[in-house]
Homo-oligomer: A and B are copies of this chain.
Amino acid sequence: MSALDNLLNDLVIANRILAKEDVVDAYGHVSVRHPDRPDRFFLARSLAPEFITRDDILEFSLDGKVVDPNEKRAPYLERFIHGGIFESRPDVMAVVHAHAEDILPFGLTGNTPLRPVIHSGSFIGSNVPVWDIADKFGDTNLLVANVEQGQDLAKCLGSANIALMRGHGFAAAARSLIEVVRMSVYLPRNARALWRAKQLGGEIKYLSQGEIDARNRGYSPYSVETWRAWHYWATKAGVGKLVTRPTDPKAGKAAAKKPAKKAKPARRKK
């Protein structure tokens, strides 16, 4: 498999994991930047993530246009979320937009900012801004339906990893597919832990900035620990057989861009 094939294969896996882990349902989507053309990204056609295969993935320019002029299938309405973030953040390689239920309350009230309280939630970062589409665009249907709205969301996101979207959901941006999936799975868990702790009362111990930094420093998408979750989630989602692993686990982020021999997935013994 070429590096690009490998990446698109991972995008299929990412879709299935997000569906299985209840981050997306009929709605929500995940994209990845083109490894060789930073002005392009890949995103599925308008279809529930649980059903997505390689054939459903389309190539887009950053203004949300489908590259292939012969493509007749409808794209996602909110592809401008992805385009806007890829445009403003050259460091970002993968984006998720979803409506995961347990994060919604934190976008509805200014009372409690969503911040990391558990170690697996550290990657959401110490600042999770809330974007309210009404601030700039007034009364809309709340969907990010054009380039300008996507850019405004990206502006609110700034250099953060996650932006909550008031009354709607969230957008997550990361350096790799594995990382953006991981962040999207742990974001609702961190939200639940915080929501429950608030009800116990008393002062809450958030992760310190130093702890968040320490976790970021140690993170590698191909470490044994990170890979364990990716393989586990993919297997649960029924696509364990699609999982491939770069030959050199130390290659880290770069690995996704190089041709990698198909490694044998860790097989479940019977």
Which A positions have Cβ atoms within 8 angstroms of B? 25-27, 46-48, 50-51, 53, 55-56, 74, 77, 99, 101-102, 104-106, 108-112, 117-120, 122, 132, 134, 138-143, 166-168, 189, 192-205, 207-208, 210-211, 213-215, 217-218, 224-225, 228-229, 231-233, 235, 266, 268-270
Q: Give this chain's copy count.
A: 4
Determine the distance from Cα of A190 to Cα of B81 in the docked complex, in whole angstroms.
Answer: 23
- Give the distance to chain B from A76, nearest Cβ to Cβ, in Å: 9
Q: Contacts of A25 on B, CB cut-off 8 Å? A: 229, 232
Determine the distance from Cα of A132 to Cα of B229 in the docked complex, in whole angstroms.
Answer: 25
Q: Contacts of A192 on B, CB cut-off 8 Å? A: 101
Q: Contacts of A270 on B, CB cut-off 8 Å? A: 53
- Pick the residue among B46, B108, B199, B232 that contacts A26 (CB under 8 A): B232
Q: Contacts of A210 on B, CB cut-off 8 Å? A: 138-139
- Pick the residue among B104, B106, B214 that contacts A140 (CB under 8 A): B214
